[in-house]
Chain A
């Protein structure tokens, strides 16, 4: 199946700094990507939909100025956590759908996740 990668897999940063997380679709093009956040022992929470060449769509309650999303190419979306604080520490996961249309519904391919720790 298709592969989605994330970089870095783990990052520790100091409070007040910004961190960028990359999400890449390795063998397919993704005009849309999704970003999720997952706290310990909780389910994935959708943060935003990243659209290539246009602005991201954020879920209710997610601060767009804090979580900057850039989908500059068909294989890369980035999530920048600006002015990070300890409460932003979480597991961030991206996904990209592939397929769809007549032959089959699309499948969501998930990245391996990025563990962010803000000290």
Chain B
């Protein structure tokens, strides 16, 4: 079982909806990541939070809004998405933002935008 928990596992939303993806880890990790993965492609980095501060934003459109309420939680707020935003959204954590350790991934939230 993964130690990074993502909810919901599946989400279908219309282009005018507002929804959120949630990610939680209790490993004491201080760096958390959002990745987007389309079919047959590798994960693409979206955001990195290090010690609860946004450290990397890979030029992601503003319709995606990340939030890190505390060191265990990471949210991704979704608003006015497009059908091409349909993908698997993966959350990951790592022990520290300055560390070189492995990433631990959640099982992902599969998003479909109609």
Question: Do the two chains bind?
Answer: no
A binding-site residues for B, Cβ under 8 Å: none
B contacts, CB < 8 Å to A: none
